[in-house]
Copies of this chain bind each other. A is one copy, B any other.
Amino acid sequence: MQHARPLPTYLVQRYLGWKATTYKENRAWYRRLASEGQRPRAMVIACCDSRVQVTSIFGADQGEFFVHRNIANLVPPYEPDGQQHGTSAAVEYAVTALKVAHLIVLGHSQCGGVKGCLDMCQGRAPELEETSSFVGRWMDILRPGVETIDSLPEDQQTEALEKEAVLTSLRNLMTFPFVAKAVEEDELTLHGTWTTIGEGGLEAYDPARGQFRPVNPTE
């Protein structure tokens, strides 16, 4: 691998800072996590977006969350065709091997992937329609969801589609036999959430009302 380069110095420096503080203070716990293995309570599926910090928002301790992050927090439908499905592999490992109790899909505002999907489906991004566009093909997962928001005023479409992406993932999760079985046997619960980058808000999907609602409506 002649193309690899040394780690940028600023990251080395920060790592050494972490080692001398956080690591040092928690060494006993980290060693135990290493020797006994992980036992996370929840899996979180979130976006790669640099502005979403899953563990920070939920005050998560090392060892608590099994985290999969991809473009637009999407889960494709169950398709056991022998091909490489990274998201499906992560879900399979979390549910069948780690037996997590919660599976939380976390969407967010200003999502570039969702915006690209909307542009593509409404004819404004022909380059994403090309076979060679990995982002375009990945966002195909959300294509059926565009219908559900098409009749909304234009300035509400992106946010609605971001939330629809969360629901699409939840629906697709239920097409996985091992997810459906765990849910039906009360061994796993699914949760849909959506956060706003700028305001630090958090909404959770309320199945009784069929809509997303702020987790703290009175604030």
| A residues with CB within 8 A of B | 1-43, 48-51, 53, 55-71, 74, 76, 80-94, 97, 99, 101-102, 104, 109-110, 112-113, 131-135, 137-141, 167, 170-171, 174, 182-183, 186-193, 196-200, 202, 204-207, 210, 215-216, 219
Contact = CB atoms under 8 A, between A and B. Distances in A.
Given A170-B1, A170-B3, A204-B6, A59 B17 contact: yes
The copy count of this chain in the complex is: 4
Nearest to A105: B4
B59 A41 contact: no
A207 B61 contact: no
Chain B CB count within 10 A is highest, among A4, A17, A22, A57, for A4
A41 to B, nearest CB: 6
Contact of A93 (B7, B16, B71, B215): B71
B27 A200 contact: yes
A8 B34 contact: no
Contact of A198 (B31, B140, B192): B31
Main secondary structure, interface of A, reads mixed
Given A4-B190, A16-B216, 5 more contacts: A4-B191, A14-B14, A25-B189, A28-B102, A86-B138
A28 to B, nearest CB: 4
B36 A39 contact: yes
Contacts of A113: 93
Given A12-B216, A14-B59, A61-B41, A92 B135 contact: yes
Nearest to A183: B3
Contact of A134 (B32, B41, B80, B104): B80
Contact of A20 (B17, B58, B63): B17
